Structure 1
Amino acid sequence: MKVTVIGAGAVGSTAADVIARREVADEVVLLDIKEGIAEGKAMDLMQTSSIEGFDTTIVGSTNDYAKTAKSDVIVVTSGIPRKPGMSREDLIGINAGIVRTVVTAALEVSPKAVILIVSNPMDTMTYLTYQIAQEMGISKKRVLGMGGALDSARFRYRLGEAMNMSTNDVSGMVIGGHGDATMIPLTRLATWNGLPVSRFLKSDDLAEVAAKTKVGGATLTGLLGTSAWYAPGAAICQVVEAILRDEQRIIPSCVYLNGEYGQKDICIGVPVVIGKGGWQKIVNVRLSNEEKAAFEASADAVRKMNEALKGL
């Protein structure tokens, strides 16, 4: 199995590291436009293999897409990261051009690959990739955005923190757009070892958990001065592993909707079954009236962002 990670920044190189250590793939190609960065990081990672005991081969390349040929999964992290005070939406103009270029080049040499979009604003960049894939005759099921996996991890972290319990025992998912104002943590459905967390947390506590989850990325950007990378890298690996090992896992992901959840012609986060070849099917969760309204508002906000693509 072969995975290409485009963008050797903090997120991309961390994803390559986690994928290699977990031996999810036989080969990981790390690609970057900046001379020497991908090669250097690949060499650095390979030098840990004899210490960590993994056998995955990591190759670095400066913009040579020939080395990415016949990849099973292509992860796109390219683009400028968020800085303090920036929203994900602020990145559309620059990152759309970058994503269009790298996705087209990657698919030309790996037409059977699954494309996993991480670049922000993720929902809009996934929609752009869906459009490119359609032009190239590639199934919509091989295009997905990695937002829900990360947001759900941050949700579970906040739930565990509020309950003073291990996050390993907590289940919860986030749907909707991958943005501070558009994501929807489903507190009503969150559980602790199968029991509703609402039995252990007051409504005010759950509201605070949801609020902290929504600004999870912005909180870290404020502390770090740039976007986070450890949890995003691990979340990327989680999705890649589900694809390559055909795990049939339910992971909230940004996918193209055609009537599901009452939405059409949009890429937005919903629970999907992920396995070989990408996402297999969309899982219908019965939302409350309040959750439906929040999802509709989230979709409206994502569509508004998508409008910016028309002038690019």
Structure 2
Amino acid sequence: MARDKIALIGSGQIGGTLAHLIGLKELGDVVMFDIAEGVPQGKALDIAQSSPVDGFDAAYTGANTYEALDNAKVCIVTAGVPRKPGMSRDDLLSINLKVMEQVGAGIKKYAPDAFVICITNPLDAMVWALQKASGLPHKRVVGMAGVLDSSRFRFFLADEFNVSVEDVTAF
């Protein structure tokens, strides 16, 4: 059965977690891309080998070249440098802008029909840079951040009031 290809660009903690969730929900086959040699291959293999235990059947591939994005229906971008102690938002912006230029060029060449979801921070600037670098229409390049903020808010409320996060509703 042919399934949609979903490309995760960035194979760190968030990319790996999303790859596993995509398999659990059987949303499509997954390509994990990263510039770090061996990282996407190792994570893809680990997740694929967990599929019999978790009860899903998705194909996983790890790659270090943008060609692996070929014909991806969805590209989820988590690539970038995380903010470190002492690093300003401006520092993060200048570093991750360069990353988005490279990622956007790769998407433009190999997945020009994809729907793109960016998670890299600072989010608004990265979505803008990714859309410009990829040349994709605005409606096909979006950012995702609010769910994480809402989740953190619920967690801190539950922690403060010593109740289960399942008992807290907040947005």
Q: TM-score with structure 2 length normalisation?
A: 0.87
* Within-5 A mapping of 1:104-115: 104-115=105-116
Larger radius of gyration: 1
Aligned to 1:33: 35
Aligned to 1:8: 11
Structure 2: which 5+ runs fail to align? Answer: none
| 2:54 aligned residue (36, 52, 55) | 52
Larger proportion of strand: 1
- Residues 26 and 55 of structure 1 are in contact (CA less than 8 Å); yes or no, is this contact kept in structure 2? no
Distance 1:141 1:160, change over 3 A: farther
Count matched residues.
Answer: 168
> Structure 2: how far apart are the matches of 1:169 and 1:87?
36
Distance 1:57 1:93, change over 3 A: same
Percent identity, aligned pairs only?
Answer: 39
Distance 1:113 1:169, change over 3 A: farther
- Residues 100 and 126 of structure 2 are in contact (CA less than 8 Å); yes or no, is this contact kept in structure 1? yes
3-state SS of 1:30 partner = strand
The one-letter amino acid of 1:81's match is P
| Structure 2 residue 119 is matched with structure 1 residue 118 | yes
1:47 is displaced (CA, Å) by: 1.0
1:101 is displaced (CA, Å) by: 0.8
* Within-5 A mapping of 1:121-160: 121-133=122-134, 136=135, 138-160=136-158
1:169 is displaced (CA, Å) by: 4.4
3-state SS of 1:48 partner = helix
> Structure 2: how far apart are the matches of 1:139 and 1:168?
39
Distance 1:89 1:147, change over 3 A: farther
1:49 is displaced (CA, Å) by: 1.0
- Residues 70 and 113 of structure 1 are in contact (CA less than 8 Å); yes or no, is this contact kept in structure 2? yes
Spell out, residue by residue over 1:141-167, the C-alpha distance to the aligned partner (whole angstroms, 9 max, x if none): 211112112111111222333344443
Q: TM-score with structure 1 length normalisation?
A: 0.50
The one-letter amino acid of 1:142's match is R
CA RMSD between the two structures: 1.9
1:100 is displaced (CA, Å) by: 1.0
